[in-house]
Every structure is written in C-alpha cells, then in structure tokens.
Structure 1
Amino acid sequence: MQETKSSPGWVKPVVAAVLIGAIGLGGYLTLNQRQSAPDVTFVSIKGEKISPASLRGKVVMVNFWATSCTTCVAEMPKMVDTYNKFKGQGLEFVAVAMNYDPPNYVLNYAETRQLPFKVALDADGSAAKAYGNVAMTPTTFVIGKDGKILKRYLGEPDFAALHKLLEESLHG
C-alpha cells in the first residue's frame, strides 16, 4: 500500500469558507444589479404610442391592473393621489390593462374615474410577458431615470414606502 499525503486539517475549512464567500458575493452582486425595464411601446386607450424613448430620463410607474381585480380597483384612488403628488416633479405613470380586460370596460373605468395618467391596453399580452410574465394584478414597477427597475410590487404597495422611494428617485 502506498502512503498518501493528506492536507493539513485547516485546508478544507478554509477552501469551504472561500467558496461560500465567493458564492455569497456572486449572489450579492446579482441582487444589486438592477434589471433594465423591458423595451416595450405601450398603446394608450386614446391610440397614443408611449415609447421607451419618451419615458427615458424620467421616473416611471408601470401598473398592471384589471377592472375585474378588486385590489386594483381599491388601490386606484391611491395611485391617482400618488401620481398627482409627484407628477409636477417628473413622475410618469402608465396603467396597463391586462389582455383579458375588455377594452370598453377599461375605457369606461378610465373615463368615469377621470384617471389623470396614461392608460394603456395590453391587447396581445406582450407587455405583461416582457415584464416577466406578469399574471397577478396589481403588479407595479417603479423604473428609475436610468431605465432600470428600482422596485416591483405584487399586490397593493405600501404607499408610505413607495412615496419615499419616489422622493429619492425623483430628486436623487
């Protein structure tokens, strides 16, 4: 039998610590690399094209919603208040109706509630798909001036935290 040299007892724990540290750092960097917002052109209920170029350099909220979604309908007055509070500071807002929402319902809702921001139809579902296969409504994205997604909210946002994020993003 041949004698094999074994490593000193401290080598394995050190190698393990280095690997765990490298994996942790990789995860940390991945989490801190903000994703760019998808290159999607929305079409508003008025037929206006809302291109990524027209939104560049602005803080933008993209809210996926449906008239049949009770949480969406409940949060909409707070979304209107948020938009009205920050629009003078450069906030853009696009409320994107899901593809299963009948366009006449969306139009009626937007008109009767006098929604002050852009309302778009995602007729073919391509916008929801581009934003990571959005299926749950409401889903809201806050996009920074650099075009990167700052935050994604599933369900109704914590509006105090959202307002703080908007303040920082608009004036940062």
Structure 2
Amino acid sequence: MSTRRIALIAAVCAALAGGLWFATGTTGEPAPQVRYVLLDGKPADSSQWRGKVMFVSFWATDCTTCVHEMPQVVQTFEKYKGRGFDTLVVAMSYDPPAYVANFASSRALPFGVAIDNMGTLAKAFGQVQMTPTSFLIDKNGRIVKRFVGEPDFNALHGQIEQLLAAS
C-alpha cells in the first residue's frame, strides 16, 4: 500500500474518531454565560443554573428526532425536578416562533422554553447546528456531556443520579 493511501486512511480514521468524541464527548469546560428570554417573556440567564444539574437541549419543531424524544425529556424533568435538576429547551433560530409556542403549549412542556432568534445561544454553546444537540451541566456549571442526536435516556438518568449525589 502506498504511503499516500496510508496517510489518507489515517486522516479519515482520525477525523471519524474526533467526530465521535465531538458527538458524545465529555468536556469539563464551563458552560457559557448566556442570557435568554423564555417563551413566556421572562428574562433569564445561566447564573440561575448554579447549584442545579441542567439539561440544555437545542431542538426544532421540524426535527423528527427532537419531537420523538421530547416526551422522554419531559419524563426526565418530572423524575428529577424536585432534586435540583432543571431543563431548558432552546428552539433554533430558524424555527418560527409561532410553531415553537404551539408545540410547547400543545404538549404542556413543564420546563423553560427559549427561542434563539439570533443564534447567540447556539453560538455560545460551540456553534450548535445539528438538532437535537444537548448538554448535561453539573452543579458547578461545567459541561459534563454533549449529546448529538437522541441520548440513551437510561444512561442519562444514571449520569443525572451521579451528578445529583455529588456535593
């Protein structure tokens, strides 16, 4: 096999490995400091997440995976909300606000819903473009896990349990 072909195969393998880490990687980085407005018009910011385990999910009403996973996101929130866990779902900038409001209302979403009109939240979280992309953030405001696509909710629940138990 030629040196050029070996180099090409090595580069492809490295790119795939990097992409897999990016899709499911743990970061340990601080969550970005962001301000946003909830669907009900209330201003909020990430400083309110301190002391909580947060699940922040970027989604869109036209994303079939997002729509499919939303009942599990609701179940996860309901299961842990009384123990210091919270959820924020962030609609992407291209999602029409009326669609987001209708979706949130018709499904009675029990957690914060924000519309990222200008794309500033997606940019702050590392140029989020694919939906769903979600982040699990610990009580100290550090990103513990990044999920691209639907998470394994059983594994997610285990991670949430560990983070809630941590001091």
Q: TM-score range by the shorter chain?
A: 0.7 to 0.9
The residue aligned with 1:26 is: none
Scaled by the length of structure 1, what TM-score is found?
Answer: 0.80
Tell me, in whole angstroms, the C-alpha distance in 1 between the residues paired with 2:102 and 2:48.
26
Tell me, in whole angstroms, the C-alpha distance in 2 between the residues paired with 1:82 and 1:48.
23
Q: Where do 1:1-172 residues align within 5 Å? A: 34-172=28-166
C-alpha distance 33-46 of structure 1, shift in aligned 2 (>3 A)? closer
2:102 is matched by which residue type in structure 1?
N
1:59 is matched by which residue type in structure 2?
V
Check the 8 A contact 2:27/2:145 in 1, yes or no. no
The residue aligned with 1:14 is: none
What's the RMSD between the two structures over aligned residues?
Answer: 1.3
Tell me, in whole angstroms, the C-alpha distance in 1 between the residues paired with 2:64 and 2:31.
27
Q: Which has the higher contact order (CA 8 A, sep 6+)?
A: 2
Cα deviation digits, residues 85-105 of structure 1 (max 9, x gap): 010111111000000000000
Q: CA deviation at 1:41?
A: 1.2
Query: Where do 5+ consecutive residues of structure 2 fail to align?
Result: 1-24
Check the 8 A contact 2:27/2:144 in 1, yes or no. no
Q: CA deviation at 1:32?
A: 7.9
Tell me, in whole angstroms, the C-alpha distance in 2 between the residues paired with 1:74 and 1:170.
26
Secondary structure at the aligned position of 1:127 is classed as helix
Secondary structure at the aligned position of 2:123 is classed as helix
C-alpha distance 67-33 of structure 1, shift in aligned 2 (>3 A)? closer
Scaled by the length of structure 2, what TM-score is found?
Answer: 0.82
Q: Could you list the runs of 4 or more consecutive aligned residues of structure 1 that deviate by over 3 angstroms after TM superposition?
A: none
1:48 is matched by which residue type in structure 2?
K
Check the 8 A contact 2:26/2:146 in 1, yes or no. no
Secondary structure at the aligned position of 2:140 is classed as coil
Tell me, in whole angstroms, the C-alpha distance in 1 between the residues paired with 2:154 and 2:87.
18
C-alpha distance 126-75 of structure 1, shift in aligned 2 (>3 A)? same
C-alpha distance 168-45 of structure 1, shift in aligned 2 (>3 A)? same
Secondary structure at the aligned position of 1:67 is classed as coil
2:38 is matched by which residue type in structure 1?
S
The structure number with the bigger radius of gyration is 1
Tell me, in whole angstroms, the C-alpha distance in 1 between the residues paired with 2:26 and 2:94.
34
